[in-house]
A and B are shown apart, each in its own frame.
Chain A
C-alpha cells in the first residue's frame, strides 16, 4: 500500500505523520505515489494510467493542475484526528439494507432497451470488439468519460 504524502502547509492541529489508511480498509482510492503540490509532481505515467483506467481525457496541463489541486484539497482530511475512531464505511450505515423477495417482476422489455443503441443485430447490442481503447475514442464522440475540464 503506497503511502500518501502529507501536505506540509495544512495542519491547524498538527500533522498526522503522513500515514494514510486507518482501520482495515486503508485509503485505496489513491494508490500511486502522487505528490500534492509542493512535493512530488504528478508524473506523465500516472496521468496515462488514470486516463486508461477511467477513460478520461486529461487533455491539457491545466487539467493536470486541476487534478493536483483536487488531491491537495482532499488531503486536508488528514488534518482531522481520527485515532481510535472506526472509519465510516458508508453514509448509509444506519440504514437497513432492504431485502427483496425472490420474485420475477422485471425484464421483457427488449424493444425499449434496443432503442438505446445505435447498432443492433437481431436482438443483440453491437459493441466494438475487445476493450475500448483511447485511440478508438478519438474517432468518435466518447460515450464514456468526458473532456477533463471540470475536475
Chain B
C-alpha cells in the first residue's frame, strides 16, 4: 500500500509570503481526525489549494522547516584523487584499481593537480573564501568498500569556506522567479569509496573498487532552505554551475552527484528541532518529494506527541516515503586524525607566488579566477538583455537539459524575431516534449525545422494557425521540412487579394444583419464574418487582412 504524502503546504512549491524572504509557513489545515487516504492524500496530483482555503485548526501552531544539504560531486578528471588509475563509469570490475586504491601496504597518496584546480574553481564560483593552506585528515570507519579503513578527507581545514549559492524558485500565479540564497559552509576534497553489491541470497557482498579513490567535492550547505522545492532548485543550480565550470558532469543518474539532506522542523521563534539525515536522494525527481515527505512526517509525529530521533533515513522511491536505515551501533566516532602522509596543501595568488617556482607545482588562485567560464546566472542575464525575455524564461531555458542549445540554434537559423522564437520554444515546443515525456535530445523536430517554420510565419507565408498545424505535422513526420508540409497541404496564405475581396463581399451580402449591427455601433459583430472568412479560406488567409478588407467595405 503506497503511503500517501500529506501535502499541506508545499505541494511542489513554496508558500513564500509576500515580503518574507525565507521561511515558508507550513500550515496544518486539516482537523485532527484526518485519516490517510482522505482527499489530501491525492494532493500530489491535484492542483495546490489557494492560500485562503487553508484555515489553521484552532490551537494549531505554525511550523517552519529547515533543510541543509551535503552534496557530493564526482570531480571530472582523468585519474583519481590520490592515484593514477582511470576515472571511468561502467568499466569491468576492479580494472581501474591501482595498488594504492586497493590499500596494499607500502603505497602512498599523491595528490592530483586537476582535482585541486576543480575545487578552487568551484569555490570561486560559489563566492567562497579559498584557504591558502588546507589540510588532509583521515576519517575512520570499517566497511568492505573502504579498503584502507579510512577515507582521506578535509575535516579540519577545508580548501574553501563561507560561500553562497544563489538560485531561483517559482512563486505566485502567474509564476515569477524569486531569488534565494543558501550559504555554503565549506567545500572539501575527499575520496570516494568503492561499490558494494549485496547478494542476499548467498549472504555475501561483492566489492568493486573502480570507484574507490575517485575525487569528490563535498559541498556542505547551511540549513537555509525551507522545503523540498528550494532544495531541488538549489541542487539544480549547483549542477548547472558544476557543468558550466566543467569540474563535474554532475549527472545524478550516473552517481556523479549525490545529495544528503538534514531536515528538522520547529515552531517559528523557537530553536531548531532534532534533525534527521535523509540519504539515498539520487534523483532530481525524488529530491523534493523525499524532503517534503520527511518534513510532513516530522510535523505529524510531533503533533501527535511523539519525538524525532536523530537518525539516518533512506528514501524509498517506490513507496514515496522515508524509512529508517539499518541502525548503526550508537553514534559513529570517526576518530579524525591528520593524514600523516600529506603535507599541508598550499595555494598562492599573484601576490604571494614565489619567484622562479615550478609552474606545474604551484596553483595560482588569481589565474584560475580569471579563467573561469561563464556561470549560469550570467548566461541568464545575457538572455534577458539580449532577447528581452522574462527572467522566468531564462530559468526554464537553462533548467531543461539541452533546451538552451536548441533555442540558440533556432535563433541562428531563423529570420523571426527572438520574442517569437522564445514563445514557440517555451510554449509549443516544450509543451509537446512534456506531453510525451521526451527530452530535448529526443525531439523529432530539429532546430532547423523549427527555424524554417518560424521564418515562414514571420514572413507571412502562412498564418499563425497554419503554423501550429505545420508543427503538428513536423512532429509526427520527422525528416520533412516545414516548406514541404506547407506546400503538400497548401497552407500558404492567400496572396490573391482580389479573390479575398470577392469572398468578403459575398459574406457581407450574405449576412445583412451583421452589416446592420456594425453600422448601429457594434463593431465587434464583424468578428463573426472574420471567423466565417477564415473557415471559407481554410485558414489560408491572414485574419488581420480579412478584418481590414471587411472594415473598409463596411465603411463605404
- Which residues of A come within 8 Å of B, CB atoms? 24-25, 28-29, 31, 49, 52-55, 89-110, 113-114, 116, 119, 121-132, 144
Flag B201-237 by CB within 8 Å of A: 1 or 0 each: 0011111110000000000000000000000000000
- Given A93-B344, A96-B361, answer yes or no on A126-B111 (Cβ-Cβ < 8 Å): no
Name the prevailing secondary structure of the B interface residues.
loop
- Given A28-B336, A110-B95, answer yes or no on A129-B205 (Cβ-Cβ < 8 Å): yes
Choose one: A102, A121, A127; the contact of B79 (CB below 8 Å).
A102
Q: How far is the CB of A55 from the nearest CB of chain B, in Å?
A: 7
Q: Does B83 contact A (CB under 8 A)?
A: yes
Across the interface, name the chain B residue whose C-beta is closest to A132.
B142
Q: Does B547 contact A (CB under 8 A)?
A: no
Q: List 24 A-B contacts (CB under 8 A).
A: A24-B157, A49-B330, A89-B344, A90-B338, A97-B345, A99-B111, A99-B360, A100-B110, A100-B112, A100-B113, A101-B114, A102-B77, A103-B79, A105-B79, A106-B79, A107-B96, A107-B97, A108-B95, A108-B96, A113-B94, A121-B204, A123-B94, A126-B207, A129-B200
A91 to B343, CA, bound (A): 8
- Which residues of B have CB within 8 Å of A110? 92-95, 97
Q: How far is the CB of A91 from the nearest CB of chain B, in Å?
A: 8
Q: Do residues B205 and A126 form an inter-chain contact, with CB atoms below 8 A?
A: yes
18 more CB-based (< 8 A) A-B contacts, given A97-B342, A144-B149: A31-B333, A54-B335, A90-B338, A92-B341, A96-B343, A98-B361, A103-B78, A104-B86, A107-B84, A107-B98, A110-B94, A110-B97, A113-B94, A113-B97, A119-B204, A123-B92, A124-B206, A129-B200
Complex A-B, nearest 5 residue pairs according to Cβ-Cβ distance, in ascending order: A127-B144, A107-B85, A106-B98, A102-B114, A124-B206
- Which residues of B have CB within 8 Å of A125? 94, 144, 206-207, 209
Q: Do residues B112 and A102 form an inter-chain contact, with CB atoms below 8 A?
A: yes
Choose one: B85, B86, B93, B336; the contact of A124 (CB below 8 Å).
B93
A52 to B198, CA, bound (A): 23
B311-362 residues with Cβ-Cβ distance < 8 A to A are: 326, 328-330, 333, 335-346, 360-361
Choose one: A95, A101, A128; the contact of B205 (CB below 8 Å).
A128
Q: Do residues B110 and A114 form an inter-chain contact, with CB atoms below 8 A?
A: no
A62 to B291, CA, bound (A): 51
